[in-house]
Chains A and B, each alone.
Chain A
Amino acid sequence: MKNKYDFIVAVSGSPNVGKSTLFNIITGERQHVGNWPGKTVERYEGLLIHHGYRIKIVDLPGTYSLGALSEEEVIARDFIVKEKPDVVIVIADALRLEHTLYLVVQLLELTGKVVVALNKMDAADKRGIHIHVDRLSRKLSVPVVPVSALHNIGINNLIDRVLDVAKGRVKPGKFKINYNGIEYYIGKVEEILRNNNSIPDYPPRWVAIRLLEGDKEFENKILERNGEKVLEKIYEIKNIAKRELGEDPETIIVTTRYNFIHNIIKDVIAYGKVVIPSITISLDKILTHPILGLPIIVLLLFSTFFIIFSINTGFPLNIVFKDLGYENIAKAIEENSLSSILSKIFEFLSIVIRDVLNRINLPDYIISFICDGIIIGIGSVLSFFPLILITYIIFGIIEDSGLMARIAVASDTILRKIGLSGKAIMPLILGFGCNVPAVLGTRILEDDREKILAIMLAPIIPCQARLTVLLAIVAAIVKNPLQQANILISLYIISLIILVVMGKALKILLFKKYRTPELLIELPPYHRPSFRVISWLSWDRGIHFIKKAGTTIFLLSIIIWFMLNFGLSGYGVELSNSYAAIISKSLIPIGSLMGLDDWRLILALLNGFVAKEAVIETLTLASGATNPTDAINIIGISYIQALVLMTVMMIYTPCMPTLITVFSESRKLKYMIIVLIYQLSLAFTIGIIVFNLYKILF
């Protein structure tokens, strides 16, 4: 790999220091996203050409520390030690210098090939925080470059200094923190490590310090490599240190490190004004309040979804204009929504290609395979893209502005009741847009069990695709807008009740000893989001998903095409004689339990497994109608059938892309199957209850 590039540079930094923005500014459009080998953590790489040098830039996961507290921290330090980048750029935040220097100092203990990018210098100036950059550079014995990633200031200078270090023109000075009383024990552990050649890649002193801090990852490695005896010796030294010094070694080490930073800060920083603006404090007091903050947040999220849904499907903005009497505008909004444009493109493609193929006299089934199978298959893969993209963009803005952290705090009190912490609010609300980013979003949860719990709960959240199906059905069976709204709201409430009940149930059934992790979250300074960074991040994530799940969605679409077009007598049978219909008809006894005794309804539900929108498409196709309302009339769906169909569709199974994502994020087939089974059984049970209640009552 290395010979393709002149240098390899890693970018590291704590969360909220502006790492993504800086990475984006440095690499421009030349970047790609993947996963770290064997991990669910995203890996970004890019290319920078500077003064003729080809430099590979690797974005390390954002971490507060280099201990082994999370997967990300292990990835970051392993990369630095094993892949030996020529330079590590570590970003410190001028607004929160003391806090963000913690990672910088840990990195400096590991490697000297470091350039510190001091970000948000312009904002610090405005706030009256003056930082003596040269003095900071001398104290850290590596170059420190003031930059503003958001406003693209100082980036050239930064890269020049990176090249200086890469080419050896600037030699880092010696950096060592004196841990005073504990130094003796560090030496002892170092000796054991050297004698046993325990963790050869890492500097022994660094590992020794980490082990005294209680690094589980290193402990496991020693156990594997050298066996229990060696590890016990290290534990013994740790215990002696604790006895002699009267305090846990980890407390002493972390405190010493922070004191070291505090002493630097005293010499390099001068405050002109208050550090945290009072407006931030007042705003935080309100927004994070579980009673005062929630209505504001609900309003914010409501408008957010209003925007997301309107861009994607036209609803509910079209209703607003219709009610105001602007039918034309409402229609224009519907026709120019992303999903409508996308489906028109594929319709058009299908017609054009069918025409061309007809002229060269290909057999019917091949034409159908290409036009109804392949093209529609690609279409359904791509139909997920705008959904995921817009959801990511809008929530990227909320997150980048600093609002998401406040939302997490405000919802902590409520979410604890279902076994989740406030941090889980982000993935859960993403789910109202699309369940796939919701499940992916659980990555931010540090506690493994909380993550699994959130992964399994997220698919219950009614996504936008389900909403479009509900809207189509409800519009066909009920004319009164108030009654329509009532039905929709009731269905959403049912979903949320299921969420609460399942949260409690799964917590008890799967994790007996599980205790919801306590919230510890930083509230970063509010700031203007960088739209550029958000859009490329969202775009990359969308593409990444399509690449990963695309093949499966596509294959399933082909299978569905086959089932719809082939029957016992081969290709070209009536839909009602197709394999799909045969299977659906055989399921009628089950469907009848909840009043769904028409094979077309069952077929629609089966098809909805690919993507929930397909429920409506199938009804339209199976009835030979041209729009959903006609389809529902032709099939003769009764009021109660429609109610049951909507209820079941809301709950019965996550769409396949969501299931794939559940599997890839939880990494256990078990959890995917649990999700599938509990949702299916819940849907049937509730379907049967709704049907029978209705029969009894009316």
Chain B
Amino acid sequence: MRPRVTPLSMMPTGSTGRVVAFRGGYGSMRRMMEMGITPGTIIRVINNSVGPILIEVRGAVYALGRGMASKVLVELL
């Protein structure tokens, strides 16, 4: 079965995924990577409703703007 790849902004609450790639600007990508959102990282979505998305990465919780989240491609696990 082909792995399902979706932007992080589309991941439902409670789902888990692995970061595959980034699209878009250097600045925002760099900031996310410094926070530990690197390719291969497992991300758990704590809440995705309106406004920024809450995610858990490497034991820390982040709020991520939707625009930024749409630039992270994630393979759903």
Q: Please give the residue numbers on chain A whose beta carbons come within 8 Å of chain B beta carbons, in ascending order.
A: 64-65, 67, 69, 95-99, 102, 214, 250-251, 254-255, 258-259, 262, 275-276, 280-281, 284-285, 288-291, 405, 408-410, 412-413, 421-422, 518-523
Contacts and interface: CB of A to CB of B under 8 A. Distances in A.
A214 B51 contact: no
Contacts of B34: 64-65, 67, 69, 102, 254
A99 B35 CA distance: 7
A254 B65 CA distance: 22
B54 A259 contact: no
Contacts of A412: 51-52, 63, 65
Interface of B: 22, 26, 28-36, 38-41, 46-47, 49-52, 54, 56-65, 67-68
Interface of B, helix, strand, loop or mixed by DSSP: mixed
B63 A290 contact: no
A284 B61 contact: yes
Given A69-B31, A521-B63, A251 B52 contact: no
Contacts of A102: 34, 36
Given A254-B33, A254-B34, A255-B38, A520 B64 contact: yes
A92 to B, nearest CB: 12
B68 A520 contact: yes
A276 B44 CA distance: 12
Contacts of A284: 46-47, 54, 61
A470 to B, nearest CB: 34
B63 A99 contact: no
Contact of A522 (B50, B51, B61): B61
Given A251-B38, A285-B46, 8 more contacts: A69-B34, A99-B57, A254-B33, A255-B38, A290-B50, A410-B51, A413-B51, A518-B68
Give the residue among A254, A259, A518 with the most B Cβ atoms within 10 A: A518
A520 B65 contact: yes
Contact of A99 (B47, B58, B67, B68): B58
Given A65-B34, A412-B65, A520-B65, A258 B51 contact: no
B31 to A, nearest CB: 6
A518 B37 CA distance: 15
A290 B51 contact: yes
Contacts of A259: 40
B10 to A, nearest CB: 16
B47 A288 contact: yes
Contacts of A521: 62-63
Contact of B54 (A65, A69, A523): A523
Nearest to B38: A255
Contact of A258 (B41, B47, B54, B67): B41
A37 B28 CA distance: 29
B64 to A, nearest CB: 6
Nearest to A254: B33
B59 A275 contact: yes
B36 A288 contact: no
Contacts of A280: 61
B5 to A, nearest CB: 17
Given A276-B61, A523-B62, A523-B63, A99 B49 contact: no
A104 to B, nearest CB: 13
24 contacts: A64-B34, A67-B30, A67-B34, A96-B59, A98-B60, A99-B36, A214-B26, A254-B33, A254-B34, A259-B40, A275-B59, A284-B61, A285-B47, A285-B54, A289-B47, A408-B63, A409-B54, A412-B52, A518-B67, A519-B68, A520-B32, A520-B68, A521-B62, A521-B63
Contacts of A99: 35-36, 57-60
A64 B57 CA distance: 14
A518 B38 contact: no
B39 A288 contact: no
A518 B63 contact: no
Contacts of A214: 26, 30
Nearest to A106: B34
A520 B54 contact: no
Contact of B31 (A281, A290, A520, A523): A520
B58 A98 contact: yes
B61 A288 contact: no
Contact of B63 (A258, A276, A288): A288
Contacts of B30: 67, 69, 214, 250
A520 B51 contact: no
Please indicate which of the listed interface residues B58, B63, B64 has the most CB atoms of chain A within 10 Å of its own CB: B63
B2 to A, nearest CB: 21
Closest 6 A/B residue pairs (Cβ): A518-B65, A518-B68, A99-B60, A519-B65, A409-B63, A98-B58
A98 B59 contact: yes
A258 B36 contact: yes
Nearest to A271: B59
A214 B63 CA distance: 25
B3 to A, nearest CB: 19
A231 to B, nearest CB: 17
A122 B64 CA distance: 30
A288 B40 contact: no
Nearest to A280: B61
B66 to A, nearest CB: 8
A276 B56 contact: yes
Contacts of B51: 288-290, 409-410, 412-413
Given A284-B46, A519-B65, A520-B64, A97 B54 contact: no
A258 B65 contact: no
Given A102-B36, A290-B51, A522 B60 contact: yes
User: Which of B29, B47, B64 has the most chain A CB atoms closer than 10 A to its own CB?
Assistant: B47
Given A69-B30, A214-B26, A523 B61 contact: yes
A97 B52 contact: no
A182 B68 CA distance: 28
Nearest to A247: B39
B63 A289 contact: no
B41 to A, nearest CB: 7
Contacts of A65: 34
Nearest to B69: A518
Nearest to B28: A518
A250 B54 contact: no
A281 B33 CA distance: 23
A69 B29 CA distance: 12
B32 A289 contact: no
Contacts of B64: 518-520
Contact of A251 (B36, B39, B63): B39
Contacts of B38: 251, 254-255, 258
A518 B38 CA distance: 18
Contacts of A262: 58
Nearest to A284: B54
Contacts of B68: 518-520
A251 B22 CA distance: 10
Contacts of A97: 59
